Chain A
Amino acid sequence: MAIFSILDSDGTYKDTVALSPYYIDFNIDRIMKEINAYWKEDVSAMYRYFPSDEQGQEYRKSVYKDICRDGMYEILVDFREEMKNRAKILENKKQTRSELQKMVMTLSEMKIYLNAVDTLYKRLSEVKLESEGMTKLMQLLSDYVSSDRYKKLEEEVSAIRKSLDDIPIKLRYKDHFLYVSFEEVEGKYDSFLKEFSTPDKDNQKFLTFFQRKNPLGDAVEITALEEEVITIIYDKKPQVFGNLTRFIKEAGDYAEEYILQLADEIAFYLSFLTFERVMKERGLYFVPAKKSDSKKMVAEDLYDLALACQMSRDGIMPIANDTRMEEDENFFVLTGPNQGGKTTFARSLGQLVFFSKLGLPVPAKRAEIPFYARILTHFSVEESVETGKGKLAEELTRLAPMMEDSTQKNDFVVINELFTTAANYDACIMGKRVLDHFVGQGCHGIYVTHLQDLSKEDPGIVSLRAMMNEEHRQNFKIVRSTDPALESSILLVEKHRLHFEQVKNRLKGEEE
């Protein structure tokens, strides 16, 4: 185990966690797609591993806060890029059989590593860091860069590299002979050709031909011709290669494991920050979730991030909702018209808990969330042709394991439309039992249903309704409501498509 992890206070980070059903249910897969797209790398696996406790969550939140500081993002992205370049050399090493070449590559690899560590340390020293994770990292880096081991490595690498750089090679090619000598050339013909280049193409970004193309070939492995030339150099300057060989042998495993791990793990925070910045530019917002000491859960202007990713592309802002669960409350029961935003709201709650469990900011303006051990979901699915089971049987099959072992008493449960194929009477009884079970277990959660009766009786149950606006159109607002009777008549009218707007649209022929 590494001595340090930026993802976990006790360094126990492991990245193999199975995909949970809620990934699909909450449309987290769609959010991940966006995150991966903006980060240009698949980081999904990192978003499947949660800190084991509240302390772990707080550890990450404070690290993230540090990473959001001015300049931090660039510092860490640069560090990661460098370390990726180093990894590329490791890959390239596998493509050559020449031992000498492998050694020179190792030298470059070390150079990049040293430079990355050095730059990271220097640049981080200029930032005021407060989190436990970052402070610990700085302590480790500080000790490391001032150690003799580090300094010696740095000195030797640059000395040996310099001895290689100091060999000018001049090649004259004529009559199928190559004449090698060791002297500087000016590049006279380059200068002659340069006069043809058009001024606008001549800026810094424009790579010269030789920067793009190696006239001796593009292979990673050293070519036969270069080997011949190297042999001549070897005869002339044996000590250069002797020093190289000795040094590489002695250096061995020179890299610190926690630094290599840091380069990987930091992508978790950076990928989210990249995503967050893009979304903020589009007018969306995020907030770090506050730890809730009681069992109270609060979210203001909470929205469905997956939906918002899509909509904000066209400049449309998602519907936001405030939600609040007091200390003595356990479960939301959400009812309301079809297409009224019920599932969207359930998803946004799920996403809220998901991101807060990861220790990342949540899609809301203010949030206070207690620690939940697990997230459990049950969303209704289309009847499965493969299993051949009826829908009810299929639902119960998925429900059973959820209700088995909620021993931790602090899970977050999202249920979306259970038992829709069962008779109303049966469905009510079964629904009530499910609800009682989770409430009895001390779980928090939301139950989206078309069954009006479920929300009655229990004081721990909060009844929510998807609302309609003055024109009786769905406005996707979710509010607390204890008297659904008031709206049931509206629902009836709506069911028969006889609202003002509906009738108007029907007459206009605009309705589908």
Chain B
Amino acid sequence: MIAGLLFADKDWNHIKKYDDEKTIIDDLHLNTIFRVSAQKVIWKKGNVERVTGADPFIEQTMRRVIMAPLRTKEEVEYRQAVIKDFLKVPELAEELYELTTKLKDVWEAMGRNGKKHQEQDAAGEMITNIKVINMLLNTLCTVRSKLEEKKDNFSSEGLNNLIARINEELTEDKEKRIRKVLDDLSFYVLGEEREEKMKAGRICVPEIVLGCRIGDALRFDSFKLEELQSLDKKFHKPGGILSKMDDYKNKLVPDSIQLAKNPKLLDQGAYMERMMVRYLCESLNGFVDEIGAFFDQLQMQSAFMTGVCFLQDQMRRYSMSLTFPKVGEKQSYKFKELMELVMCLEQHMVPVGNTCEIKDKNMLVVTGANQGGKSTFLRSIGIAQILLQAGMPVLADEYEAPLYPGMFTHFTRREDSEMNSGRLDEELKRMSQIVDYLRKNEEEAPGTSLVLLNESFATTTEKEGSVIAYDILQAMTQMGVNVATVTHLLTFAKRLYEEKEQEKKDKGIEETNVVFLSAERLDSGERTYRMIPCVPQLTSFGLDLYDRMILGKDAET
């Protein structure tokens, strides 16, 4: 039985991650999202009373799920629908998560996964098995009733199917059978529980009926279990008069063997009892495995749902709300008031939003002055894209983009900023690694790769860096890879711009595959931190002037 909250047809099992997962997390500071999603806001009269510490399992789960991109529109819509349902009843996600976590913790403490309790012997192990079966059965019933309770809120296929699957797995008949086995096993109690019962003057004893044959080595074999039950009866103290009367009566039965006459026989009787318990427990192994695995999945998947609900709740602190993005057409992007989520969460502020609509472009070149919000803009796209591909809502009024499971980031690193051949070597090495991944990804699913470059090749001269960037990016886009780059390499940007202008003229077309964006500056010189399409500018004004004049001169002559 699958939990099916994340995917329609499968559970979380070896889901392919982003190839360069760690780099993406570092470059986009996604750890902040993982952490904040794992923190619950405690509200008091509309104000934040406190925020809990991050739940490590939720944090880890957010990372696992977010870093494994969905690959089709259907997958995204399926998961979005489930999340939307949970957002309607956010307490449900948390309840499921708590129930399953408690189950897992108790089970592990009892020695699941071979982590056996130190002093636990074989007898104790079977007691554990019985308890586990009980616990699984009861938890499954609780989960079912919790879901049934909120059923009216569900419009997603995921949650409705989950209820149906649980009902199918745990039919009334099956539940009855399992409870009968547990009941038949009730004679098998040890220690305090047993003593308590005896104090009350009762005792539970088993009655076992077996069939067998004389085996090949005289030892009996071909066993068959005919009957097994627990008999609740009055406790007669051994050696007491009542007990003696019982024995006397039993001895009169022909072909009876009194086990008490020989300690060896008594031991064997006890051994046989234990074997029967083991047999019954083992028969339910299939149930334990199946439901155990189901709860593992449900715990993990409800942890993710809880994280998404927590994250949405966090946004209330900034009077903002996440909205669900759409999977759009190839090479086209549309966003309205797209904001950088991590910046918001880290700096507790409302960031600048960007609005843009781009069609049929596979290269996005962002240029402009420092401190103009270029990098923030690129990261906001990266983060929104990652969340879209996790089926999650994003921080924007609207966001629509195609899916890029082959997403990569190549951001300049602080330690890179010094000019140093070793650093360029390192940068190129990272790029070369990306190229390897890209080749693989494009082979599997052409046109689904996106590379985000932030101030790449800053570790060499502007001129050299421009050549490197030009070659690599041109090669990539020509091979169908999508690229968005923030760059200070104006030689590169300008060269590309001029070539594209020429292409328009030559081909008589209005648009090419490249779009150039810059940070907006008002006439007053004030920065708005918004990105608008424009001609790449050279910051080194004098050189720009020189070039233009010389070029202009050249053009005239």
Binding site for B on A (CB under 8 A): 89, 92, 98, 100-101, 104-105, 108, 111, 164-165, 167-181, 184-190, 192-198, 201, 209-210, 213-217, 220, 222-226, 228-230, 232-233
Complex contacts, A167 vs chain B, CB 8 Å = 213-214
Tally chain B residues at the interface, Cβ within 8 Å: 56
Taking a contact as CB atoms under 8 Å apart, the answer to whether A215 and B275 are in contact is yes
Q: Is B118 an interface residue (CB 8 A)?
A: no
Taking a contact as CB atoms under 8 Å apart, the answer to whether A165 and B208 are in contact is no
Among B208, B268, B282, the residue within 8 A (CB) of A224 is: B268
Q: Which residue among A105, A175, A210 has the maximum number of chain B CB atoms within 10 Å of its CB? A: A175
How many Å lie between the Cα of A170 and that of B181 in the bound state? 22
How many Å lie between the Cα of A195 and that of B284 in the bound state? 10
Taking a contact as CB atoms under 8 Å apart, the answer to whether B209 and A171 are in contact is yes
Q: DSSP class of A's interface residues: helix, strand, loop or mixed?
A: mixed
Least CB distance from A478 to B in Å reads 44
Among A173, A198, A209, the residue within 8 A (CB) of B272 is: A173
Taking a contact as CB atoms under 8 Å apart, the answer to whether A230 and B218 are in contact is yes
Given A185-B224, A213-B275, A225-B257, the answer on whether A196 and B284 have CB atoms closer than 8 Å is: yes
How many Å lie between the Cα of A100 and that of B217 in the bound state? 10
Taking a contact as CB atoms under 8 Å apart, the answer to whether A176 and B259 are in contact is yes
How many Å lie between the Cα of A228 and that of B259 in the bound state? 10
Least CB distance from A182 to B in Å reads 9
Complex contacts, A173 vs chain B, CB 8 Å = 206-210, 269, 272-273
**Proximity bits, B277-288, A CB within 8 Å = 1, else 0:** 011101110110
Least CB distance from B457 to A in Å reads 28
Least CB distance from B266 to A in Å reads 7
Q: Is B149 an interface residue (CB 8 A)?
A: no
Taking a contact as CB atoms under 8 Å apart, the answer to whether B257 and A226 are in contact is no
Complex contacts, A171 vs chain B, CB 8 Å = 208-212
Given A172-B207, A177-B257, A190-B224, the answer on whether A224 and B262 have CB atoms closer than 8 Å is: yes
Taking a contact as CB atoms under 8 Å apart, the answer to whether B225 and A189 are in contact is yes
Q: Smallest CB-CB separation from A174: which chain B residue?
A: B207
Complex contacts, A170 vs chain B, CB 8 Å = 209-211, 226
Taking a contact as CB atoms under 8 Å apart, the answer to whether B256 and A178 are in contact is yes
How many Å lie between the Cα of A167 and that of B228 in the bound state? 23
Among B210, B216, B260, B286, the residue within 8 A (CB) of A176 is: B260
Q: DSSP class of B's interface residues: helix, strand, loop or mixed?
A: mixed
Pick the 8 closest A-B CB pairs, nearest first.
A185-B211, A187-B224, A198-B286, A193-B283, A215-B275, A210-B223, A104-B218, A108-B216
Complex contacts, A220 vs chain B, CB 8 Å = 217, 219
Taking a contact as CB atoms under 8 Å apart, the answer to whether B181 and A217 are in contact is no
How many Å lie between the Cα of A439 and that of B231 in the bound state? 93
Q: Smallest CB-CB separation from B226: which chain A residue?
A: A185
Taking a contact as CB atoms under 8 Å apart, the answer to whether A214 and B219 are in contact is yes
Q: Is B290 an interface residue (CB 8 A)?
A: yes
13 contacts between A and B (CB under 8 A): A101-B218, A104-B217, A165-B214, A171-B212, A176-B260, A177-B253, A187-B211, A196-B177, A201-B286, A213-B278, A215-B275, A216-B268, A225-B257
Q: Smallest CB-CB separation from B287: which chain A residue?
A: A196
Q: Smallest CB-CB separation from A232: which chain B residue?
A: B255
Taking a contact as CB atoms under 8 Å apart, the answer to whether A175 and B246 are in contact is yes
Least CB distance from A455 to B in Å reads 55
Complex contacts, A105 vs chain B, CB 8 Å = 216-218
Taking a contact as CB atoms under 8 Å apart, the answer to whether B218 and A222 are in contact is yes
Taking a contact as CB atoms under 8 Å apart, the answer to whether B213 and A165 are in contact is yes
Binding site for A on B (CB under 8 A): 177-178, 181, 205-214, 216-228, 231, 246, 250, 253, 255-260, 262, 264-266, 268-269, 271-273, 275-276, 278-280, 282-284, 286-287, 290
Given A176-B269, A181-B255, the answer on whether A210 and B218 have CB atoms closer than 8 Å is: no
Taking a contact as CB atoms under 8 Å apart, the answer to whether B217 and A225 are in contact is no
Q: Smallest CB-CB separation from A200: which chain B residue?
A: B286
Taking a contact as CB atoms under 8 Å apart, the answer to whether B219 and A226 are in contact is yes
Among B214, B224, B269, B284, the residue within 8 A (CB) of A210 is: B224
Among A104, A193, A196, A209, the residue within 8 A (CB) of B216 is: A104
Least CB distance from A94 to B in Å reads 13
How many Å lie between the Cα of A186 and that of B209 in the bound state? 11
How many Å lie between the Cα of A187 and that of B207 in the bound state? 15
Complex contacts, B280 vs chain A, CB 8 Å = 193
Complex contacts, B262 vs chain A, CB 8 Å = 224
Among A178, A209, A222, A232, the residue within 8 A (CB) of B283 is: A209
Complex contacts, B282 vs chain A, CB 8 Å = 209
Q: With contacts A189-B227, A198-B290, A215-B223 known, what are 11 further pairs, Cβ within 8 A?
A: A101-B219, A108-B216, A171-B208, A171-B211, A175-B205, A177-B259, A178-B256, A188-B227, A210-B225, A226-B218, A228-B265
Taking a contact as CB atoms under 8 Å apart, the answer to whether A188 and B205 are in contact is no
Least CB distance from A11 to B in Å reads 34
How many Å lie between the Cα of A220 and that of B264 in the bound state? 16
